[in-house]
Structure 1
Amino acid sequence: MALLLMAASGFAGLGYQIVWTQQFGLALGHETAAVLAVVAAFFGGLSLGALALGRRIEASGRPLAWYAGCEAVIGLWGGVLMLSLPAASQAVLALIGPEASPAWHWTVAFGASLLLLLPATAAMGATLPAMARLSTAGLSPLYAANTAGAVAGVLVTALLLVPAWGLSRSTALCVGLNLLCALGAPALLAARPADTAATPSSGRPLVLLAVTGLLGIAYEVLCVRVLSQVLEDTVYTFALLLAVYLAGTAAGAAAHARSPRLHQTPALLQALATSVLLGMGVLWGADLLKHSLQPLLPATLGGALALESLLALAVFGLPTALMGALFCQLSAEAQAARQPFSRALGVNTLGAMAAAPLFGVALAASLGPKGALLMVAAGYLLLQPCWRDWRWRLPTVATLAIAAWAPPMAFVEVPDGGRLLSYRDGAMAAVSVVQDADGVARLRINNRQQEGSSATQHVDGRQALLPLMLHGEPRRALFLGVGAGITSGVAARWPGVQADAVELLPEVIEATALFRPALGAGPGPHVINADARRFVRTAPTRYDVIVADNFHPARSGSAALYTVEHFRAVRQRLNPQGVFCQWLPLHQLDLDTLRGITASFLAAYPDGVAILASHSLDTPTLGLVGRTGPTQFAMPPRSALGARFGLGEPMAVLGSLVGDNTSLRRFAAATAPNTDDRPWVAYRAPRITYVPNTSPRDRLMALLGQLNLDDGHWLAPAHAADAALVSRVQAYARARQHYLDLGRRTVPSADPAVMLARVGPGLLAVLQQSPDFEPAAEPLRRLAQALAPVDPAAAEQLRAELATVRPPKDAR
């Protein structure tokens, strides 16, 4: 019964950690920040509970009441947080402020997390000492059962409960488990005799426990950081890495109870140092190992998650098993030295608490993952130096060799003929800029997300100009997310507009300097280093236009920018008749996820419409647009800046509309919105990342087939009665549909005559539908120009046909 209760308590404890990490991510702006803050808060509370309460429990004649009381406190405080954490998160946002320095941001992150979680985590820290008084099973089995329950809690909560139930109901289950543990405690055997006070004979085991707690969690934090550059870096990734880490620890604790060979501290420390070095070797080869294992597993979500689990096992398996055995051995040595178990547990978790800020924030950024991991290996070696033992000298030499000659632990895919322009390890991510053989530079975060490139300037510029021109008279614009800086940079050049841009990662802000020359001389945006959600909720400024970057919703923390609550907060930051545009990367979204995001957007902007940024088939970008007033648009002005991006004519701007409100609502019907409490997009979006099932062009055509512009409410009242204008916009939309379908079916050729035969009739037919549709006219002009030297007659005939279907502007 004791082992079952410990497993249930462990399940609830790590279930809370998964939920609280996601909830704190909403306030702290990034899942990495939330992970580090919650990990530190957990271990800090565990330490305080073990040190402050543990000795009293061990000396008490009523350990059963203590255990039941601690489980009840955990459950009750879990229930309090379930109800109050949204409001508390808002207070944390206000305390951090819109433009906090990194030092203040991290101080509030760690401090607020510790205080908010302290009642529950302190009670958690006292449960194991209490159970040690109530069970004859022994420390190692109790620790193993508690950790095994924690593994189940991570997996079940992250993979099943939160996606199906949401955060509050998942928390409620954990609350119920704690209360059941409290009620079930009387069924345990009677307590063992209380410990008699004795004078400790040595404090060395406590020192070792504190330092090994620090080093063990440091290894976890650093490996997760490195693996995020190799794995897909989704909510599933973090859950699997944590589960494998805990499973290895549980296995080591269980093995310690059965194997006397694991009762030698010097040997365990030497083995741990060696295993850390071996783990680093696996990390260096993780990308190669991933591609080697991938063909052996099924191309399904389960196969993809199994692959991530295997890589996690390769990195964590041996070190964590040794960590579990070492904790049990050092705890036994502490008891032999008359040190109470509560003190041993307390100092171990105190060291673990320091790992997140020290290694996860400070050393990972200053030394890089390689240097910080070498410090972990060296730490284990220096705890028990045995100069005459080859098992100590061998890992020492290996550590020094790796420090001197091994490359940095950075994963950057550089194409053939390309080069690395910039690489920065930050506290939350690694940011790189890579240039290919054609001179195209690309910005990446953790080697996974392409945040912009010098080759996408045309589309990036349109993502700025379309919302500005649909507004008509913008004076101040806000951009959530900087990427390569092209979008906000183009907006800053719009006459009379003051552009602000918010970016969480300072390394991204620095990297934009490499892309700035592509825009030429001109004013730039005011860039603010802050989290988008926090800035929107706390900044006092209001804006005429707010544009949200096309964040990949599967990546760490990005799905929180697609919730109903965030969209409503953006609405509060707009001036009257202000425009909000949320760009969506359709090439990274399946249609079911898009429906959920659309439903969330419509909950905040009930009469919203959809636009298309460009006519790209392979990287289509959809925009959801809403206003604080009626979502209606007047004829935009002609613009020289807009002409540089294919938006010089008003019809090109209105022609970007692809879906009216009626069709958009029909598309999102019967789909649950994505909310802070039910963040299902974070769990649905990774599926297409792991296992792509359709091509972007197929998804685009399927989407456009479900959207239309029939209701006519998207025009301002002054134009709504203009039947000819409505007809022109609708014809433009039909022409776009045929143009994209033609592009999807056409096989490119370098021979202009062949291409003319393949696309000429189709493009002319598109222009017959809508003479305004410039994207169909431009390739015909280029073909005529290419044909002129080799077949002048064909070129002249093409020009004549083009003039027939598309007369000069003043004739239209």
Structure 2
Amino acid sequence: MNKEIRTKAPLCADHFILLCILFFLSGTAGLIFQVIWMYRLGLVFGNAAYATAATLSAFFLGLALGGWFLGRASAKFRRPLKMYGLMELGVALTALLFVPGLEFYEMYYAESISFLGNSKGILLPMKFIFSALLLILPSFLMGGTFPVLSQYIGKNRTQLSKRGTALYAVNTVGAALGALLTGFYLILEYGVSFTYYLAVALMFSIGLLAVVLDSLSTPTTVVRKTSRTSIAQGKSFGGPSKLGNLQFIIVAFSSGALALSAETLWTQMFAQVLQNSVYSFALILVVFLLALGMGGFLSHLLVRSRMGSNRVIVLLLSIAAVFIGISPTIFNLATNGLEYVAMGASWNTYVWAVFKLALLVVLPPTVVLGAVFPFLLKAAPVTNRPAGRIVGVLVFFNSLGSFAGPAIAGFVLLDILGLWNSVKVIAIFYGILAVWVFFSFYGEKKNVRLLLPILIVSGILLLKNPPLLRLETDEKLLDSWQSSDGVVSIVRKSKNIQMRLDNFYVLGDSESVLVEQMQAHVPLMIHPAPKKVAFLGMGTGITAGAALYHDVEKVVAVELVSNVIPAAQGYFSPWANGLFQDSRASIVADDGRNFLLGTKEQFDVIVGDLFTPWHAGTGSLYSLEHFGQAKKRLGAGGVFAQWLPLYQLTPENFYTIAATFAAVFPHVTLWRADFSATRASIVLIGQEAGVQLDEDTLRRNIVHVTGGQDNQDKSHMAGLFYLGNLNNIGNRLSHVELNTDDRRAIEFKAPILSQQANAGRANYIVGKELANLFVEISDNFSRNDPYLSGLPIDEIKFVEVGALYFRYLQYIDQRKDVMAKKTYDKIQTLAPGFLKKDIKAGE
């Protein structure tokens, strides 16, 4: 039945271009929102993969619901463009609720843990519910924007498919721009808060411009069919080549599930050969989104072809299966057997190398699989439903797939099948989907054409997997675990056993037992009576196990990577001093920040592990907020110890961390765990103001370090490990930028400085750089250090002995025999008998 209505003038070409620009910018703002939501929620939920999954799930659930409900309602909107503008305004306004909502969560998280318990089975649903509450309104509105715009542009099926694919493409390319700007510029230069409010302002402006654009359209009186019948128009788009309802739903769901699953697995794949910084992951995301946008443009071309929709879908699914199936092989060849990418290259060269690798491995399959979703605008069943409702159904099932796919890939497939077989499964599912779509159209007819997808599936099954790890000729893989946290492996090299994460990150080894034990002994040695101790980061368990040598009542070891726990228990128990059996010890699989946020317990000593500074997420463990939370969890007279891997830090990184630490703790001293010039580990010890090192405490505790062999009549020599007071470099720290959750100096600058150091354009704190730092901190071994004022002179002298011994070992290593002999003599003068009498310079 025809009816006369007041409507806007037909959409002209210039009008559509303006609309594309708005939707492009909407993609940019939306991706900025998503990146910051992930980051901020990761801090308070914990950076563990389950918390990340809860955030993603809540976001995609909101998109699905918005697509469904607003898509169904879009036919009732007399002015869909204005409604679209109002929805974008709504996204901007509801996004502002995120910040106070997050503050509320942080405020009452500990109370929630006390009430609900610390069970993962309880906490994960709670985190999901809370993230859903925070994100449901903006993500719901985001999910409805595409269906509502489709109602505006899709007066018939031809317009819907042509214009809809174009809108999808520009929106996704806009999202790629958002990922690039956020990952490489905005947060680095302006911080998280400014970037977030910039996205709010951008989204608000988009909404306002859309409303203005709608008001500029001239109302006309036209006679047309009701929207429920007009969508079926378009002769070239009818016919039996359309998908049925079931096919449409399954392909829509699968395209979201499989595409996001592939991205999850590719990210894990790239982690085996990359620096694994925020930049590395941002590059992969940029290429993935750019490829999806290119897939949108490909589908824009395909909808104009005369090929039947079913054939195009089968072809796209088959090609996607091939490209995904061979992606591990291409990746292995491109990286020369999982070799570290551009190890000694400059920063710009490294970024370009990662980008090229992503273009080679990720771009081709993603362009193809990215064409499936928008092409469904043409392949949708013949129906009298309005455009907005069709697109709403498409967004609903695709978002549900995006909701389910990464969780299944990350927490089921990786755990059960491993990385390479999981990639195969995704590829095979694409092939099976192609076979099913083909068979549903032709039944037993044209069976010969089925050979192509069947051969594809068979070929993928038979394709040989790349190696899991890159091993040297003298290395042997003993065991491995794979999950969304990464690949944890145990490797034997001669008599040494190493624990590795993602191929190149060594978490500990059996030859470093004494150094790892000292990382517990040093902070426990200076506390008068350490009874409750927490370790943020467990690794091999050797450090936490060393705490059990002391008179402690409780030791808690918190480990983010869950598979590290069985790896340590299975292979490092002989060196862990009963950590996995002692009733005083407990192991918690959690993020260190999240653990501190959720517990109300007070500890005497909290020890932060050696966190790789450029690794994505670890910069937050060197932040002002994290140090402040640790301080809150210390009892009276408590000690917080943050270990630093100087061989992974440039001076700029070190000064940033030290200045941030000093902004929280009024008294900071520095100690060493070893005397290495190439792999030095030092610790920042934070204590309350006015504290002094106590002679009786040292004598009482040194027994636990030496295994009860200390002779109370002799000097305990604890000063060997003391480096100095941070006040000695106070002037250097006074103008240093602090590392905060908002201004993420470490997470964004450490990767650049590290790569420059690898290329010889900057320096790690090793060798001469290390020696200079030690001299600067020691203030020429001043005996006026107030922290040491309670010690007798015979003890204080060992601070200088420790510095001389470090220098002596350097001279020995450098074969500077004369200088070594002079230093040896100085040591003997200060502490006769400290070195064996038969040690000679040059040995």
Same fold flag (TM > 0.5): yes
3-state DSSP of counterpart to 1:388: helix
| Counterpart contact for 2:667–2:688, Cα < 8 Å | no
Please give the residue correspondences for 1:393-472 in structure 2 after superposition, counting only pairs within 5 Å: 393-402=454-463, 406-407=464-465, 411-436=468-493, 438-472=494-528
User: d(CA) in 2 for partners of 1:26 and 1:194?
Assistant: 53
Q: Is structure 2 residue 185 aligned with structure 1 residue 160?
A: yes
1:28 alignment counterpart = 45
User: What is the alpha-carbon distance in structure 2 between the residues aligned to residue 329 and residue 646 of structure 1?
Assistant: 76
AA of the residue aligned to 1:609:
T
Single out whichever of 80-89 and 112-121 deviates more from structure 2: 80-89
CA distance in 1 between partners of 2:381 and 2:429 (Å): 24
CA distance in structure 1 between the partners assigned to 2:829 and 2:104 by the alignment: 54
In the alignment of these two chains, the number of paired residues is 764
Of 646, 655, 676, which aligns to 1:595?
A: 655
1:605 matched to which residue of 2?
665
Partner of 2:706: 643
Q: Is the 8 A contact 1:8 1:181 kept in 2?
A: yes
Aligned counterpart, 1:801: none
2:326–2:460 Cα contact (<8 Å) kept: no
- The match for 1:619 is 679
22, 27, 40: which is aligned to 1:10?
Answer: 27
Q: Distance in 1 between matches of 2:275 and 2:346?
A: 14
- 1:807 maps to none
Seen in structure 2, the aligned counterparts of structure 1 residues 74 and 89 have a Cα distance that, compared at 3 Å, is farther
Opposite residue 273 of structure 1, the aligned amino acid is A
Q: CA–CA distance in 2 between the matches of 1:89 and 1:282?
A: 44
Name the residue aligned to 1:694.
Answer: 763
Letter aligned with residue 252 of structure 1:
G
Structure 2 counterpart of 1:320, which letter? T
TM-aligned CA distance change 1:611 to 1:138, over 3 Å: same
Which residue of the partner structure matches residue 715 of structure 1?
A: 787
Aligned to 2:4: none
Tell me if the contact between 1:12 and 1:178 (Cα under 8 Å) persists in the aligned partners.
yes
2:692 counterpart (632, 641, 646):
632
**Match of 1:365?**
415
- The one-letter code matched in structure 2 to 1:764 is Y
C-alpha separation in 1, matches of 2:813 and 2:796:
26
8 Å Cα contact 2:317-2:434 kept in structure 1: yes
* Structure 2 equivalent of residue 553 of structure 1: 613
| Aligned twin of 1:383 | 433
From the superposition, tell whether residues 34 and 644 of structure 1 become closer, same or farther in structure 2 (CA, over 3 Å): same
Choose which of 46, 70, 85 in structure 2 pairs with 1:68: 85
Amino acid at match of 2:621: L
Equivalence for 1:246: 289
Show CA shifts across 1:663-684 (max 9, x none). Answer: 2423422112111222221111
2:205 to 180, 186, 197: 180
Shift in alpha-carbon separation, 1:664–1:33, aligned structure 2, 3 A: farther
- What secondary structure, in the 3-state scheme, does the structure 1 residue paired with 2:831 have? coil
Which residue number in structure 2 is paired with residue 131 of structure 1?
149
Distance 2:170 2:709 in 1: 64
Contact persistence 1:276–1:377 (CA under 8 A) = yes
Residue in 1 aligned with 2:750?
A: 685
Contact 2:60 2:402 in 1 (8 A): yes
AA paired with 1:361? F
Matches within 5 A, 1:54-65: 54-65=71-82
The answer for the alignment partner of 2:237 in structure 1 is: none
Counterpart mapping for 1:581-592 below 5 A: 581-592=641-652
Residue 245 of structure 1 deviates from its aligned partner by: 0.5
Does the aligned pair in 1 maintain the 2:48–2:590 contact within 8 Å? Answer: no
Match of 1:120 in 2: 138
Distance in 2, matches of 1:743 and 1:631, equals 37
Name the CA shift for 1:468/1:434 in 2 (closer, same or farther; >3 Å).
same
Change (3 A) 1:487 1:671: same
Q: Which of 339, 342, 348 lines up with 2:392 in the alignment?
A: 342
CA distance in 1, matches of 2:86, 2:457: 48
Pick aligned residue for 1:703 from 753, 770, 773: 773
Residue 270 of structure 1 pairs with residue 318 of structure 2: yes
Cα distance change of structure 1 residues 443 and 422 upon mapping to structure 2, 3 Å threshold: same
Cα drift, residue 564 of structure 1 = 1.2
Aligned to 1:216: 259
Three-state SS of the structure 1 residue aligned to 2:468 is: coil
Which sits farther off after the overlay, 411-420 or 602-611?
411-420
Question: What letter corresponds to residue 41 of structure 1 in structure 2?
Answer: A
Q: Take 1:423 and 1:685, find their aligned partners in 2: how far apart are those partners?
A: 29
Residue 196 of structure 1 is aligned with which of 216, 227, 242?
Answer: 227
For the residues of structure 2 that align with 1:165 and 1:729, how far apart are their CA atoms?
A: 46
Q: Secondary structure at the match of 2:479?
A: strand
Instruction: Please give the root-mean-square deviation of Cα atoms over the aligned residues, in Å.
Output: 3.0
How far 1:155 sits from its partner (Å)? 0.8
**What secondary structure is seen at the aligned counterpart in 1 of 2:558?**
strand
Deviation at 1:332, TM superposition (A): 1.6
Contact 1:611–1:657 (CA<8 Å) still a contact in 2? yes
Structure 1 residues 646 and 393: CA distance shift in structure 2, 3 A:
farther
Unaligned stretches of 5+ residues in structure 1: 748-756, 788-812
Separation of aligned partners in 1, 2:104 and 2:755: 35
Q: Distance in 2 between matches of 1:633 and 1:228?
A: 44
SS in 2 for 1:482: coil
| C-alpha distance in 1 between matches for 2:740 and 2:58 | 25
Q: CA deviation at 1:547?
A: 1.2
State the partner residue of 2:327.
279
Give 3-state SS (helix, strand or coil) of 1:472's partner. Answer: coil
Identity %: 25
Shift, 1:782, TM fit: 4.7
Residues 496 and 428 of structure 1, relative CA distance in 2, 3 Å threshold: closer
Structure 1, 729-738 or 657-666: larger mean CA deviation? 729-738
Query: Kindly tell me: are residues 294 and 551 of structure 1, through their superposed partners in 2, closer, same or farther at Cα, counting changes over 3 Å?
Result: closer
Matched, 1:302 2:358: no
Deviation at 1:67, TM superposition (A): 0.8
Q: Which amino acid aligns with 1:518?
A: W
Q: Deviations over 1:682-714 (max 9, x none)?
A: 111112443323252243123223212548444
Deviation at 1:495, TM superposition (A): 3.5
2:175 is paired with a residue whose SS is helix
Structure 1 residues 383 and 93, CA, compared in 2 at 3 Å: closer, same or farther?
Answer: farther
Alpha-carbon spacing, 1:61–1:441, altered in 2? closer, same or farther (3 Å): same
Shift of 1:336: 4.2
Which amino acid in 2 is paired with 1:574? Answer: L
SS in 2 for 1:154: helix
TM-score (norm 1): 0.87
SS at 1:608 equivalent: strand
Quick one: distance in 2 between partners of 1:103 and 1:470? Answer: 39
The 1:739/1:51 distance shift into structure 2, 3 A limit, reads same
What is the deviation of 1:119? 0.7
SS state at 1:272 partner: helix
Write out per-residue CA displacement over residues 297-334 of structure 1, whole angstroms, 9 at most, x where no aligned residue: x9211111111112222221111111221112112211
